[in-house]
């Protein structure tokens, strides 16, 4: 057993090159296990092998457990040792034994290490940039998942899938995922955001859309020694004559504490809010054909017009769209949109492993871009994953200096084709590919089967 585990650890560290050998080595996982005081038995699928197999599973196009188990067998078959059973139960049980806190800690560790690689030249006005947004993920229609993350009430029982609402913070500098919270579908974005603020570091600047622009949240962010740049909520009407003008379409405005405690905020937290808050409001127009938004009103706590000029803030908020691209990478490129696990606990573990794999790819892109002078955010995440998958057989077949040369070649080709810069690009939201002409399921599957049998 010990020999097989040693072989697998060597294979994974060699085949995945930098991500497993340097960014997520055995020592990092072991340190996290020791900090969480996790006890485990010596077996084939120990925490180290299980995490590496889980990572390769979510990065693969075929995300089945059978495919992951087959990969383990293929790694062992050429070493002359006893191969494990083709049954997936041992691997599935090993995944279930992995503590959720361990995967959460590793995902945060990789994001933190990547953020520490950022130099002063990469900062915006000397500040780290974060962006916050919410999205949804679906999962298999099981009793446990439905109980924890119910499907929309508009759907009949048995005709939909459980859906969870997720809130996330990304780094605008590196593209890495910083933090994640999970809740039921009808959770407001503000409720998720208030759980995410704890992951901010002092002097961070956080961007968000108008869903996050609330009085209490701006105060909370300021109390954390951070600043915010949000789009003004449509329900807040500020007359143009109010406030002190500090620039063109730029003024300082005094906001007053709400008269009633907002929903989702405790009475104690509401009582602790100051009576007034001075914010900066910037108003500008967007004249780009095809864009739905024609005017934007920004609210920010960055009050110094010399350090943070008006145009810099306008350009900064334009970068908020990057969070939509990051979520698309996770949900469409990596396949996190539709999860596969059948219990809420395993669903959360699967999410953390997706984010861990995403951050490892982002780190590979960062090292490749900074090595060869290409902006890392302009590199293709899909292309990085494809190149990495194609280079795995060569990394397995070689060692030493030759494997290092193969790895350097991988870094080189990742930067060969950056994503084109398309300012002002607008595409119609339509679908060209016609779906199959099958009707939607409007009754549970067992009832439909009975109708077929009766016919």
What pLDDT was estimated at residue 11? 61
What pLDDT was estimated at residue 60? 87
Per-residue pLDDT of 286-298, as tens digits, reads 877 666 667 889 9
CB 14 within 8 A of CB 403: yes
What pLDDT was estimated at residue 22? 60
Residue bearing the bigger pLDDT, 236 or 261: 261
| Close Cβ partners of 236 (under 8 Å, ≥ 6 residues apart) | 213
0.75 cut: is pTM over it? yes
Number of Cβ within 10 Å of residue 223's Cβ equals 11
CB 185 within 8 A of CB 152: yes
CATH topology of domain 102-330: Transposase Inhibitor Protein From Tn5; Chain A, domain 1 (3.90.350)
Q: Determine the average pLDDT of the residues in 98-119.
A: 92
- Radius of gyration, alpha carbons of the chain: 25
Sequence spans of domains, the chain: 1-98, 102-330, 380-418
Q: How far apart are CA 158 and CA 447, in angstroms?
A: 10
Which burial class, exposed, middle or buried, applies to 390 when counting CB atoms under 10 A from its CB (0-12, 13-18, 19+)? exposed
Residue bearing the bigger pLDDT, 162 or 38: 162
Q: In the predicted model, what is the mean pLDDT of the chain?
A: 88
Res. 164 pLDDT band, cuts 50 70 90: very high
Q: How far apart are CA 387 and CA 110, in angstroms?
A: 21
Phi and psi at 447, nearest 5°, equal -70, -40
Q: Determine the average pLDDT of the residues in 89-100.
A: 92
What pLDDT was estimated at residue 193? 95
What pLDDT was estimated at residue 336? 95
CB 60 within 8 A of CB 67: yes
Q: Determine the average pLDDT of the residues in 345-352.
A: 96
**CA–CA distances in Å: residue 264 to residues 135, 186, 195:** 19, 13, 12
Q: Determine the average pLDDT of the residues in 307-330.
A: 92
CB 42 within 8 A of CB 5: yes
What pLDDT was estimated at residue 16? 47
Look at residue 241 and tell me whether its pLDDT is greater than 80: no
To 10 degrees, what angle do helices 89-97 and 65-77 make?
A: 110
Which burial class, exposed, middle or buried, applies to 425 when counting CB atoms under 10 A from its CB (0-12, 13-18, 19+)? exposed
What pLDDT was estimated at residue 20? 57
Q: Determine the average pLDDT of the residues in 389-395.
A: 79
Q: How far apart are CA 383 and CA 401, in angstroms?
A: 25
Strands 244-247 and 227-231 turn out to be unpaired
Which burial class, exposed, middle or buried, applies to 24 when counting CB atoms under 10 A from its CB (0-12, 13-18, 19+)? buried
CB 356 within 8 A of CB 55: yes
């Amino acid at each position: 057993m010990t020999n097989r585990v040693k072989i697998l650890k060597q294979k994974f560290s060699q085949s995945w090159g930098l991500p497993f050998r340097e960014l997520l080595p055995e020592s990092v996982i072991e340190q996290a296990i020791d900090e969480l005081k996790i006890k485990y038995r010596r077996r084939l699928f120990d925490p180290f092998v299980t995490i590496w197999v889980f990572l390769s599973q979510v990065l693969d196009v075929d995300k089945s457990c059978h495919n992951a188990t087959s990969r383990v067998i293929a790694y062992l078959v050429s070493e002359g040792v006893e191969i494990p059973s083709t049954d997936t139960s041992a691997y599935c049980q090993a995944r279930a034994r992995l503590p959720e806190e361990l995967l959460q800690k590793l995902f945060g560790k990789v994001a933190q290490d990547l953020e520490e690689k950022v130099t002063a030249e990469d900062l915006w006005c000397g500040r780290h940039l974060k962006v916050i947004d919410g999205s949804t993920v679906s999962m298999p229609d099981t009793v446990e998942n439905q109980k924890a993350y119910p499907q929309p009430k508009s759907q009949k029982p048995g005709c939909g899938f459980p859906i969870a609402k997720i809130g996330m913070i990304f780094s605008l500098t590196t593209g890495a995922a910083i933090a994640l919270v999970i809740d039921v579908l009808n959770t407001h974005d503000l409720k998720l955001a208030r759980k995410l603020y704890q992951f901010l570091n002092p002097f961070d600047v956080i961007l968000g859309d108008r869903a996050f622009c609330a009085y209490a949240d701006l105060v909370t962010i300021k109390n954390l020694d951070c600043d915010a740049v949000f789009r003004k909520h449509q329900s807040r009407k500020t007359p143009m004559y109010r406030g002190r003008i500090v620039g063109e379409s730029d003024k300082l405005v005094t906001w007053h504490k709400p008269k009633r405690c907002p929903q989702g905020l405790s009475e104690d937290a509401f009582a602790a809010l100051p009576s007034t808050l001075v914010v900066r409001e910037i108003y500008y127009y967007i004249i780009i054909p095809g864009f739905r938004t024609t005017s934007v009103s920004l609210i920010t706590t960055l009050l110094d017009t010399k350090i943070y000029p008006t145009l810099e803030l306008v350009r900064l908020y334009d970068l908020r769209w990057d969070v939509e691209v990051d979520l698309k990478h996770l949900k469409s490129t990596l396949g996190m949109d539709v999860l596969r696990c059948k219990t809420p606990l395993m669903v959360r573990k699967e999410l953390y492993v997706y984010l861990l794999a995403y951050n490892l790819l982002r780190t590979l892109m960062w090292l490749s871009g900074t090595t060869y002078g290409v902006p890392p955010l302009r590199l293709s995440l899909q292309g990085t994953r494809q190149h990495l998958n194609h280079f795995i057989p060569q990394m397995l077949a070689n060692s030493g200096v030759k494997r290092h040369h193969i790895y350097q070649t991988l870094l080189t080709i990742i930067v060969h084709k950056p994503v084109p810069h398309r300012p002002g690009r607008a595409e119609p939201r339509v679908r060209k590919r016609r779906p199959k002409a099958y009707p939607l399921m409007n009754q549970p599957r067992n009832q439909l089967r009975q109708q077929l049998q009766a016919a």
